Structures are given as C-alpha cells and as structure tokens.
Homo-oligomer: A and B are copies of this chain.
Amino acid sequence: MTRDTIPGLGDMQDLISTEIERWLSSCERDPLAPVHRWGLSPRGKLLRPVLVLQSAATVSGPREQVLPRGQLLPVAVGIELAHVASLAHDDVIDGDAMRRGRASVPSRFGTAHAVLGGDALFFALVQSLAVCHQHGATAEAVVEAVRIVGDSGRDLSAGVAMELMLSGCGQGLPFGGASGTTAYVEMVRLKTAALMSGACQIGAVLVGGCPQEVAALGKFGEALGIAFQIGDDLLPYEPGPISAAKPVDSDLRNLRPALPLMLAVDSANPLDRTRLASGDMRWDEVRALVRDSGAVLRARELRDEYVGRALTALNALPATEHRRHLAALVDYALGGG
C-alpha cells in the first residue's frame, strides 16, 4: 500500500514535512540544529504525526467546533520530534551505527550530542503543546494532552528498560513460551505502542473528542503499535533482499528480544540455543534457523491478531470516510514501503 491509495495522505505528509522544515528553520541559531536536521532526514512515513491528524479528523464533530487541521500541525510534528529523539537514544543504547540507511545520530555526532539532541527534541514536544493553545485548543484539552504525553514518555522509557532486561536470549529471565510472549507484548506495548496510542489520543483530545472516542483511538493506536513492532521484528526474515535501513544483526548482536528470535530460541535444540545465546552464530544461519522453526509463521499470526484488534477498536467511532482512512493506515504502517 502506497501513500497514493489513501485519499489525502500524501497532502498530509507534505504538510507535516513543511512544518518540520519550518521548525528546523526556527532553531537555526541553536547549537544542536545540525543534530536535529540530521535526525529528521530522511523523513520516513511520518506515521505518528499522521495518526495525530487523522485521529482528529475521525472524531471531529460539527465543522465550527473543530480546529482547522493545520492548527494541530505543531503538536503532530512535536510527536515526530519525540519519536526521532527516542531513535537517537536507542542508537546510543544499542551502539547502532546506521539508521534509515545512513549514519545514526551518535555515529555522526557522538554520544554526547545524541543524548543532548534527543533531550532537546523531547522538550520541543512539550513546547508544541503550549503552542497548540495559542492556536486555539482549549487549555483543558491541552492539559489532558500533557497528561497523555507524560504517560506515553514514561512508558516509552520503561519499555526500552524492559527490553534491556529481556535481552540475552532468556538467560535468567522469561524468554520463550507463553510467559515469554506475554512479556514481549508488554515490552512492545510500552516501548513502541504507547507513543502511537498517545498520538491518536492527543489528536482526538485536542479537537474535543468525547472520552469514549479518545479511549477507542487509544486502543486502536496501541494495537497498531504492537502489530507494527512485530512487523518490524519480522522484516529481516521476510523473503527478498535484507533491508539496508538498519543493520539486521543489531538485535542479534545485542541479544535483543525480537519476537521471531525469541520464539525460535524457545523451540531450538540445546546446542542451537547455546550458540544463539552466545551471539556467535552467523546471520544467515540464524535466519535459516528462525525460518525453519516455524517462528516466523507464529510471529505473523500474533501480528495479524493485533491488526484485527486495531480494526475492531475503530468500530466504536462514527463510520465516516475518515475512519476508513484510519483503517487503511494499518496496512500502510505495516507495509514496510
């Protein structure tokens, strides 16, 4: 699914991209400006800001009550800035040299600037919430958005910390089996899905969505985020050439709990398990082992379960064209394109 198959998506991404450029221009005198510019290029799908805007469109009532969509742009971009911040910090944590097909922020600017650049982008999200009020969102709605941002950010950090705990191919912690999958889903809910859920809720809250609508969009974003992360974990095992966007061996090198690997470790014989846990298996061997174990199929099943949950959550919302576009974003998000 490309951006052309969802009406208005391309325009929305262009608007967001222009707003990012405006934001970058506003911080040209900031010593961190080159770091921010690097982290924000290339742009990617801009999934999280699109979720903010599309969620707002989905719940908005009579037109006169609704903020023009452009007035949500600063906070939509703020969510993308926080996402890029978390990527820079992740790359510090994982020691990853590549991101989106080129040098990662810490690889290009060093650890210090990657830490600081990320911190600044988190606070830029906070700034964008206040800007939203200047642009017409009610103070009550902004405060509720502040609560959601605070909670999502705490979840994000806790999720990455949980990932570190689960790293090491199950040495001393639940890894495979049912308890392993439960732990994986909880980790992914925190580290990936919380910000997507937050993006959907913020969009709804800021245009005055009712609590039921906000809750439904929160569930939608959470299930989408879990499905998205499983899809991301599956990428290195899909047929065809391996993507150059991120080193496929990063999860392996860091013994991270990626779902296919976790499931394969669970069903591997003791020798393979030991070799996997030691991290000294060649990548093509790992790939063959994971595929042959049936782990890829099982991971796809779990991904599709969460896709189903995301679509079901949307049933609580008015059946408009905007709701259909939101549903179409699930395919787009998981399309890897």
Binding site for B on A (CB under 8 A): 30-32, 35, 86, 89, 92-93, 111-113, 115-120, 122-130, 133, 138-140, 142-144, 146-147, 149-154, 156-158, 160-162, 164-165
Contact = CB atoms under 8 A, between A and B. Distances in A.
The 4 closest A-B pairs by CB, nearest first: A123-B153, A127-B150, A130-B147, A139-B139
By secondary structure, the A interface counts as: helix
Given A30-B158, A31-B162, A127-B151, A116 B139 contact: no
Contacts of A123: 122, 149-150, 152-154, 156-157
What is the oligomeric copy number? 2
Contacts of A165: 31
Given A124-B150, A130-B146, 12 more contacts: A86-B119, A89-B119, A116-B157, A122-B123, A122-B153, A123-B154, A124-B154, A127-B154, A129-B150, A130-B147, A139-B140, A146-B146
Nearest to A129: B146
Contacts of A164: 31, 112-113, 116
Contact of A115 (B115, B140, B147, B158): B115
Contacts of A133: 143
A63 to B, nearest CB: 25
